[in-house]
Chain A
Amino acid sequence: MHDTGKVLVGLAVFAGVATGPAWYGLGRGKGQPPELAKPVGGATQCIEPTSVMRARHMEILNQWRDAVVRGDQRIYVASDGQRHRMSLTGTCLRCHAEPAKFCIKCHEYAGVEAFCWDCHQQKPRVVTAFRGAAGGEP
């Protein structure tokens, strides 16, 4: 072996560059997941178990979107049999009242861009029940 030193230096440089983004993130304080706002209003459970929501909320939201806009369906029957009005502003934001402290915060941490708020209102609305709820949002 003649070039052990050069190879090791090369490897070190490669490892540095390859893991650079992680070090950069750690340096900017992204070592820990962000502290997210707790749900307001005393609800103890989301429409589905937390693990499901954490892993599949994007799929559920896409299903809601298509069901409401394209299928004219408005009610979601959760796995526990509970019925919820499919509405981002009307249902989700009732508990997750400030997207900036929940959705957006985590999405920023994860580096995943969500453009829901380009159109959907961030201000939470009081929708007490799905039946005859005035001002429900499509």
Chain B
Amino acid sequence: MRRRSFLKIAGLSLAGSVPAARALTGSPRTEPAPEAVRGKRWAMVVDQGKCLTKPGCQVCLEACHRAHNVPTVPDPRHEVKWVWKERLANVFPERVTPYVPAQVKDRPVVVLCNHCDNPPCVRVCPTEATWKRPDGIVMMDEHRCIGCRYCITGCPYGARSFNFEDPRPHLKGEPTDYPTRTKGVVEKCTFCAERLAEGRPPACVEACDALGVRAITFGDAADPGSAVSALLRTQDLARRKPSLGTSPHVFYVL
């Protein structure tokens, strides 16, 4: 064989092997759910004025923790939470002056993962178990979490919890379809990615709306027609620790 023809055949077979290998391995076809709601940039607005009309109300927290089988661990050091209430002075330390009365400082604020534009948890995760979806959701892949807890250290909002023990004995009532987590992984709010895929709003929003309080608005900040975007354009909304540059996408009407 001549050098020239050898090179020709070698080149051709190399070029042909790529599609052949593709065809053999056959990537399976998958589709998004037809009923899913899609957004370009999911965001949430919590209206404190409305929320405080129901003192001691826990429906959003309970709805979320029930939907996602979040355990109620008695030991506070091992506590797991996706959404909870925190005192105002802790949520907005930069906004509270020394002269604010104690009862204002102690007002409860609903807090959760902020689904930041620039999430520090994602930067530090060594396995890409947490990452930012194109629609803005900071997602968790529990299959890939190795429990290193860098993300917990990275998050300036304390929005992440570690499973120091098996969560299953601490579930209240009959578990829902949602998988529980296991000992040794980190978890947090996912903006109800699984419900959005079914065309349903996040569990906390649904629960608050069902009560008629409607303190939580969820929607696409990139869609000018959405309720969230109307609030964003017309009101002076607060974000937690904006000076850190994380650009949280949970906003507050204070």
A137, B177: Cβ atoms closer than 8 Å: yes
Pick the residue among A76, A90, A134, A138 that contacts B30 (CB under 8 A).
A76
Against A, the Cβ 8 Å flags (1 = close, 0 = not) of B190-213 are: 000110011100000000000000
Cα of A60 to Cα of B194 in the assembled complex, Å? 20
A130 sits at the interface (CB 8 A): yes
User: Which residue of A65, A74, A130 has the most chain B CB atoms within 10 A of its CB atom?
Assistant: A74
Q: How far is the CB of A133 from chain B (nearest CB, A)?
A: 7
Q: Is the CB of A70 closer than 8 A to any CB of chain B? A: yes
Q: Which residues of A contact B1 (CB under 8 A)?
A: none
- With a CB–CB cut-off of 8 A, which chain A residues contact B177? 89-90, 121, 125, 135-137
Near B by CB (< 8 A), chain A positions 36-88 give: 60, 63, 65, 67, 69-77, 83, 85-86
With beta carbons under 8 angstroms apart, the residue of B29, B34, B194, B199 that contacts A138 is B194
Q: Is the CB of B176 within 8 A of A138?
A: no
A71 touches B30 (CB 8 A): yes
Min Cβ gap B130→A in Å is 11
* 26 contacts across the A-B interface (CB closer than 8 A): A60-B28, A69-B139, A70-B139, A72-B36, A72-B193, A72-B197, A74-B32, A74-B33, A74-B36, A74-B197, A75-B30, A75-B33, A77-B29, A77-B31, A89-B177, A119-B179, A119-B181, A121-B177, A125-B177, A131-B34, A132-B35, A136-B177, A136-B197, A137-B178, A137-B179, A138-B178
Which residues of A lie under 8 Å from residue B180 when comparing CB positions?
119, 121
Given that A69-B141, A137-B178, A138-B193 are known contacts, is A132 also in contact with B198, CB under 8 Å in the complex?
A: yes
Q: Closest chain A residue to B28 by CB distance?
A: A63
Name the interface size band of chain B: 20 to 34
- Chain B residues proximal to chain A, CB less than 8 Å: 28-36, 131, 133, 139, 141-143, 175-182, 193-194, 197-199
* A residues near B181, Cβ cutoff 8 Å: 119
By beta carbon, the residue of chain B nearest A64 is: B30
Bound form: Cα–Cα A130–B32 in Å? 11
Contact B28 A121 (CB under 8 A): no
A120 is an interface residue with CB less than 8 A from chain B? yes
Chain A residues with CB under 8 Å of B33's CB are 74-75, 85, 130
Q: Mark A114-135, 1 if CB is under 8 A from B, else 0.
A: 0100111100010000111111
Q: Tell me how far the C-beta of B92 lies from the nearest C-beta in chain A, rounded to whole angstroms.
A: 33
